[in-house]
Amino acid sequence: RIDFVLVYEDESKNENRKKSVNKKQMRKRQAYESNLISNGLQLEATRSVLNEKLIFVKVHAPWEVLCTYAEVMHIKLPLKPNDLKTRDSAFNWFSRLLRVDENIIKPEQEFFTAPFEKARISDFYIQDKDIFFNPATRSRIVHFILSRVEYAVKDNVKKFGINRLLDSGIYKAAFPLHDSRFNRRLEDPNCPSERYLLYKEWAHPRSFYKLQPLDLVRKYYGEKIGIYFAWLGFYTHMLIMAAVVGLACFLYGYITKDNCTWSQEVCDPNIGGNIIMCPQCDHECTYWNLTITCESSKKLCIFDSFGTLVFAVFMGIWVTLFLEFWKRRQAELEYEWDTVEFLEQEEYIRPEYEARCTHVVTNEITQQEEHVPYTACGKCVRMTFGISAVLFWILLIIASVIGIIIYRLSVFFVFSAKLPRHINGTEAIQKYLTPQAATSVTASIISFIIIMILNIIYEKVAIMITDFELPRTQTDYENSLTMKMFLFQFVNYYSSCFYIAFFKGKFVGYPGDPVYWLGKYRNEECDPGGCLLELTTQLTIIMGVPNYCPCQGLCNPSGDLGGHLGH
C-alpha cells in the first residue's frame, strides 16, 4: 500500500537554476530519504509520465513500523468485538427514514479498544494485517515520521521535517493518496471504494436530506475530521429551527409594516408633512421635511417590530439549548468512537518544540532535569511579543473603523447638501435614497473590503506569531492560534456593527449646540427611525457574502489531520 507520496523536481533536468543550488538540495533530499529508510520506511521512486522533470517517491510503511509508532503515538486499536446490547432510541424510526441504506454502507463493527502495545500484540483483534490499520491511521503514522526525520545538522542545530523541505522547495508536494477517483467505482468487488461511497451517499447533492455516515467518515478521514462534520451537521440541523422562526418573524414584520404607528405618522402629510427638521450639516444643508424618510421608515418597520423582540428572546434560548444538546451529542460520539481520553493518550510533543530543547531546567514537581527550548525569561519575552502583536492588529482594526467613521461624516455632508433646483426628480431621489441610506451602503462596502484585506494578512501573521511562541503540543498550538484568530476576527467583523448599534447617534447634542468629532466633523445622527436599518445593511453585507472557509484548520494537507481532505 502507498501510504504517502513525495514529489520533487529532478535537478539534472532543471537548467535554469545554478548547479550549486541543485547539488545542495540534492544532498539534503538524499540525507532525508536515507534517514527515512533508517526509520524503517520503504521508498520507491517513479518518474512522471506527463512531466519528465517530476519524480514521485512512494512511501510504504511496513507492519513493524506501523506497530512501533502506533505504540509511540498511543493509538487505540480493537481488542475484541463489542458484545454489549444497545437499546434503540424512541425516535429511531424517524432517523431510519433519512439514514443511508445499510446494504450500501454497512454499519461499522464496534470493538473494545486499548492503546496499542507490541508486547501484547496477541491480545488485539488482528484478522488481517493489511486492514488492521485503517487508511487514516496509516497516513497519520507516516506523517508523524516525516515531520520528525532530520535532513541536516548546522551549528549543532538539527534541521528536520517535511514541512521545512516543502517550504524551501526541495520537495514540491507531500500527500497521502485516496483509494480511487471520487466519482468512479472500483471494478474489483472485493475492494470496495470508500471514497466513492462517501461521494455518492454523502457529498453528492442528491443526498442532501440523508443523515451523514459519520462512522465511514471517521474511518476514512480520522476522528478529528469525523467530529468536525458531526458538529457541522448538528449545527445545521439546529439552524433549521432558528431559520423557520426567523423567517416567520420577518414575514410578520413585512405584513404589518403598513400598520406601523410611527411609520404612518411620518408618512402622513398632516403630521410628518408639517414637521420641519433641522439641517444635518452646518453650511450647505437646509431644513428638510420629515416625510422624506417615509420609505425608509416603512423598511425599518420590517426589522423593528414585535417579531424582532420574539426572535431575540428565542435566539437567547436557542443558543443555550444548542450548547447543551451538543455536549450530549459529543459525549455520545466520544463513547461510540472510544475517544474519551483521546487527547491525553495521543498527545505528543511537537517536533518544532523538541528540536529546540537546548536548555536544562529542574521540574518543580518531579525534581528531575528536563530539556526545554527557552528559559522562564525567554518564555515571558515570547508571550509578551505575541500579546503585543495581537493588540497592535486589534488597534489597527480600530483605526480602520475610525477612518470609516470619518468617511461617513464627510460623505454624509455631500449627500445631505441641497441639490440644485434645476435637476428634476430631486424629491423622488431623496424619497427613496436618504442621506443615511446612501452613506450606510457605501461605508458598509468599504468596511467589508477592509475586513477581507486585514483578515487575509492577519491569518498569516497569526501563524507566524504562534510559531514564534513555540507551543509544546499540537493542542497548545491549536488553542493559541484559535484564540488569536477569534479575538482578531471578532473585532474585525463586528467593530463597525458595535459602533452603529451602541455609539452612533448617542452623542449628537441638540439643535443649536451640536457635538463635533475631532473638533471638525459634526457627529453623525441616526435615521429618524433609529439606526437599526443601517445595522441591518451592515450585517447583510458582512454575513451575506461568502468569504471564509469554515474548515480552515482542516484544509491543511500537511497538518495533523491526515491530509485526505486537503487533497
User: What pLDDT is recorded for position 559?
Assistant: 36
pLDDT per position as a tens digit, 172-227: 999 998 877 777 776 666 666 888 888 888 888 888 888 888 888 888 888 888 99
Strands (E), 369-492: 369-372
Looking only at the bridges linking them, the beta strands covering 516-517 and 54-60 are unpaired
Report CA-CA distances (Å) from 249 to 264, 301, 310, 390, 544: 21, 12, 8, 39, 19
Q: Which residue has the higher pLDDT, 419 or 232?
A: 232
User: What pLDDT is recorded for position 329?
Assistant: 92
Q: Which residue has the higher pLDDT, 532 or 431?
A: 532
Q: Position of cell 428634476? A: 424
Q: Position of cell 503585543? A: 388
User: What pLDDT is recorded for position 419?
Assistant: 44
User: What pLDDT is recorded for position 335?
Assistant: 84
pLDDT band of 92, cuts 50, 70, 90: low
Q: Which residue has the higher pLDDT, 99 or 260?
A: 260
Average the pLDDT over each of 122-126, 196-200, 248-252, 340-344 and give the range with the smallest value.
340-344
pLDDT per position as a tens digit, 30-41: 999 999 999 999
Report CA-CA distances (Å) from 289 to 8, 212, 523, 554: 72, 58, 21, 56
* pLDDT (mean) for 83-110: 67
Please say whether the beta carbons of 463 and 480 come within 8 A.
no
- Whether the per-residue pLDDT at 243 is higher than 90: the answer is yes
- Whether the per-residue pLDDT at 83 is higher than 60: the answer is yes
- Whether the per-residue pLDDT at 474 is higher than 90: the answer is no
pLDDT per position as a tens digit, 63-81: 999 999 998 888 888 888 8
359 phi/psi in degrees, rounded to 5: -95, 145
pLDDT band of 239, cuts 50, 70, 90: very high
- Whether the per-residue pLDDT at 535 is higher than 90: the answer is no
Burial of residue 502 (CB within 10 Å: 0-12, 13-18, 19+) is exposed
Name every residue whose Cβ is closer than 8 Å to that of residue 507 and which is 6 or more positions away in sequence.
Answer: 515, 523
User: How many whole angstroms separate alpha carbon 12 and alpha carbon 17?
Assistant: 10
- Whether the per-residue pLDDT at 564 is higher than 50: the answer is no
pLDDT band of 538, cuts 50, 70, 90: confident
- Whether the per-residue pLDDT at 556 is higher than 80: the answer is no
pLDDT band of 528, cuts 50, 70, 90: low
User: What pLDDT is recorded for position 312?
Assistant: 92
- Whether the per-residue pLDDT at 128 is higher than 60: the answer is yes
User: What pLDDT is recorded for position 424?
Assistant: 40
CA 390 to chain CA mean position, Å: 18
Closest CA to 78 of 29, 21, 125: 125
Burial of residue 512 (CB within 10 Å: 0-12, 13-18, 19+) is exposed
User: What pLDDT is recorded for position 68?
Assistant: 93
Please say whether the beta carbons of 304 and 529 come within 8 A.
yes
Q: Fill in the DSSP letter of residue 120.
A: G
User: What pLDDT is recorded for position 222?
Assistant: 84
Average the pLDDT over each of 114-128, 319-333, 357-371 and give the range with the smallest value.
357-371
Q: Three cell numbers at 140?
A: 497519520
User: What pLDDT is recorded for position 440?
Assistant: 74
- Whether the per-residue pLDDT at 561 is higher than 50: the answer is no
- Whether the per-residue pLDDT at 490 is higher than 70: the answer is yes
- Whether the per-residue pLDDT at 430 is higher than 60: the answer is no
Q: Position of cell 515531520? A: 147
Q: Fill in the DSSP letter of residue 87.
A: P
**Summary mean pLDDT of the chain:** 79
Q: Which residue has the higher pLDDT, 343 or 522?
A: 522
pLDDT band of 98, cuts 50, 70, 90: low
Please say whether the beta carbons of 492 and 397 come within 8 A.
yes
pLDDT per position as a tens digit, 49-62: 888 889 999 999 99
User: What pLDDT is recorded for position 270?
Assistant: 85
Q: Which residue has the higher pLDDT, 63 or 297?
A: 63
Q: Position of cell 450500501? A: 104
- Whether the per-residue pLDDT at 366 is higher than 80: the answer is no
Please say whether the beta carbons of 301 and 257 come within 8 A.
yes
Report CA-CA distances (Å) from 487 to 112, 117, 325, 459: 41, 42, 26, 12
